[in-house]
Chain A
Amino acid sequence: MEYKLTWQEYNKALKKDRLMGLRCEDCGKFTCPPMMVCAECVSTNLKVVQMSGRGKVVSFTTSYIAGEGRENELPYTIVLVELEEGPWIMGNLVGVDPKRVSMDVMGRSVELGYRVYPGDKFSSGDMARPAFSLRD
């Protein structure tokens, strides 16, 4: 049995500013990022869909340390975003000064963009990640 939505396909779409996920044809719930089965009911009756890319910040942190090779990105803000469709996803918050991000950001509406991490000697090529901007 094959994946409905592989990481490579997801990655390629995100680099075109499209966040792809799965809608379960049995229970109607969404799985994003994708998995082999529906995260809710374990069905494999899944349909690839484009997610709205909108959601709200549920948690954040501004990092002042990074792994080898990513020090030039510091400081950066990581967010967990609750997507409109329900699932949470990890990404970055951009367009704001990371040093000024506080708990006030929790609950704020955000919209999807993307950034590409070029990869390092341990990763298999470049990888896009969601880069969210505040909507209000």
Chain B
Amino acid sequence: MRRVAVIGTGHSKFCFNSPKTSLEMLAEVALDAINEANITPRDVQAINVGNVLGPFEEGQGMIQSFFANDIGCFNVPASRFEGACASGSMAVRDAVLLVASGYYDIMLVGGTEKCTAMSTGLATRTFSMYGDSRYEFPSGFTFPAVFALLAHLYAKKYEIPLAALKEQMAAVSVQSHEYAMKNPNAQIHKLISKEDVLNSFMVSTPIQLQDACPFSDGAAALIIASEETARRLVKKPVFFAGVGQASSGKLSSQYKYLPQLHAREVACQQSYRMAGLTPKDMDLCELHDCFSIAAMIAAEGLGFFEPGQSGWAWEKGETRLGGKIPINISGGLKAKGHPIGATGVSQVYEVTLQLRGDMVEQGRQVEGAKYGIIDTLGGDGVLLSLIMTNQ
């Protein structure tokens, strides 16, 4: 298979109540990516789009086709990927494989979502469609509830008093808000304290409002190309070193591994193996912190910390710039925002810019970074793992 690189990027500001449609948000960042890659829409051979709830947000299905037309990519094959919050990363992985195979040389990958077009009640209802509708939704399944169940399991299994665990969870949120201050694309530019987290509205015990990411609008786009094409078009291509994806069933069916998600280990082992790298080789990580406990579980599943240990790592600053493994220096889903179809593409955008050394101005560059890993979780079952490098 050929090496594949990101050669163009675009990213909207993530926000509440965007005045633009999902398609407009995506078209704008797609043209930014096209311009950065020194190509025109006519050079794009195929398009992959992550979009999850378009039908509920704007009554719009099949957005990828209308989007392709709007940006002048007339008649190219355009596919929509739907894997809940991992949709964008799925769209990226498939494009990488299609270009690696030699079938295409240049693809556009985008993700867009307008979650805040829905009321909070409708958003909560539609998000819960990404759990098992027959056997688990009837019990009142919501995603805060899923991670709340995992938080209590985590406290019990690793023998961490709940009060101590809640402080660790708060430390995750506090760090994300700090780094979001430096990210102009972040939805939330507001510092919070541990006390703010612990005093926030109780959503689903033990998860409080400030343990959770917001509903968000936003879009991100990438141009990806074969190595030969990439070297012809841009000075600093950033390559995919490894990709992985795995699925799982309803939450209760994963009981042998909970609170860890086995599919994450399967997915990241695929990407580590393909890259010939280990967790120790990673210089930075963007992971799926839809809830603070989700971030802790992810950091352990990816191999950065022993199970039950990552909370202390956050408290000690090992996840900050200069720490053992800088995690979510973008502000993460928590403070950068989580427009679900765009999230995976946004994570790749972040790691690409870090590996190009383009984050110096924003004051959040991981010095000398060579390898970055992206982890995205869709619902309680789709896991994506992508490793990128500037080497």
Chain A residues with a Cβ under 8 A of chain B: 7, 11, 33, 35, 39, 58-71, 73, 76, 78, 80, 82, 87-92, 101, 103, 106, 117, 120, 122-123, 127-130
A78 touching B150, Cβ below 8 Å: no
User: 0/1 per residue, B201-221, Cβ < 8 Å to A?
Assistant: 111111100000000000000
Nearest 5 A/B pairs, CB to CB:
A67-B125, A61-B148, A68-B121, A129-B138, A88-B255
Which of B129, B152, B250, B252 is A61 in contact with, Cβ under 8 Å?
A: B152
For residue A38, give the distance in angstroms from its CB to the closest CB of chain B.
12
Query: Is B101 interfacial (CB-CB < 8 Å)?
Result: no
Contact A59 B149 (CB under 8 A): yes
Q: Is the CB of B140 within 8 A of A106?
A: no
Q: Check A103–B156 contact: CB distance below 8 A.
A: yes
B153 within 8 A of A: yes
Q: In the complex the two chains form, is B124's CB within 8 Å of A33's CB? A: no
CA distance A120 to B121 in the complex (A): 13
13 contacts between A and B (CB under 8 A): A33-B135, A35-B249, A59-B149, A60-B152, A61-B144, A61-B145, A61-B151, A63-B204, A65-B142, A90-B251, A91-B139, A103-B155, A122-B129
B137-A123 in contact (CB<8A): yes
B142 touches A62 (CB 8 A): no
Among the listed B135, B142, B156, B258, which residue makes an inter-chain contact with A7, where contact means beta carbons less than 8 Å apart?
A: B135
Contacts of B183 in A (CB 8 A): none
Q: Are B139 and A106 in contact (CB under 8 A)?
A: no
Partner of A103, one of B136, B140, B152: B152
Contact of A67 with B121 at beta-carbon distance under 8 Å, contacts A88-B255, A90-B141, A92-B140 already known = yes
Apart from A61-B148, A62-B204, A90-B139: 20 A-B pairs, beta carbons within 8 A: A7-B135, A33-B134, A39-B253, A59-B150, A60-B152, A63-B142, A63-B148, A64-B203, A65-B144, A65-B204, A66-B142, A67-B127, A70-B140, A80-B251, A89-B135, A90-B251, A92-B139, A122-B125, A123-B133, A127-B138
Chain A residues positioned under 8 Å from B360 (CB to CB)? none
Residue of A nearest to B129 (CB): A122
Partner of B203, one of A7, A59, A65, A103: A65
Determine the chain A residues whose CB is within 8 A of the CB of B162 once the complex forms: 103
Given contacts A61-B204, A90-B136, A122-B129, contact A78 B145 (CB under 8 A): yes
B10-44 near A? 1/0 per residue, CB < 8 Å: 00000000000000000000000000000000000
Q: Counting chain A CB atoms within 10 Å of each CB, which of B127, B155, B253 scores highest?
A: B253
State whether the Cβ of B119 lies closer than 8 Å to any Cβ in chain A. Answer: yes
Chain B residues lying within 8 Å of A60, measured Cβ to Cβ, are: 149, 152, 205
- Given A64-B202, A64-B204, A69-B125, verify A129-B142 contact (CB < 8 Å): no
- A-facing residues in B99-129 (Cβ within 8 Å): 119, 121-122, 124-129
* A63 touching B250 in the complex, CB below 8 Å, given contacts A33-B135, A68-B124, A122-B125: no
Q: Which of B135, B138, B250 has the most CB of A within 10 A?
A: B138
**What is the 8 Å Cβ interface bit string for chain B, positions 75-86, against chain A (1 contact, 0 not)?**
000000000000
| Contact (Cβ within 8 A) B138 A117 | yes
Residue of B nearest to A106 (CB): B156
User: B281 → chain A, closest Cβ, in Å?
Assistant: 35
Nearest Cβ in chain A — how far from B118, in angstroms? Answer: 9
Say whether B148 contacts A127, CB under 8 Å.
no
B207, chain A: closest CB distance, angstroms: 8
Q: How far is the CB of B17 from chain A (nearest CB, A)?
A: 19
Q: Are the C-beta atoms of B250 and A87 separated by less than 8 Å? A: no
Tell me which residues across on chain A come within 8 A of B137, comparing CB atoms. 117, 123, 127
Check B121–A61 contact: CB distance below 8 A.
no
- B120 and chain A: residue at smallest CB distance: A65
Query: Which A residues lie within 8 Å of B133 (CB)?
Result: 123
Q: Which residues of B contact A92 (CB under 8 A)?
A: 139-140
List chain A residues, Cβ under 8 A from B251. Answer: 80, 90
- For the complex formed, measure the closest distance between the CB of B134 and the CB atoms of chain A, giving whole angstroms: 5
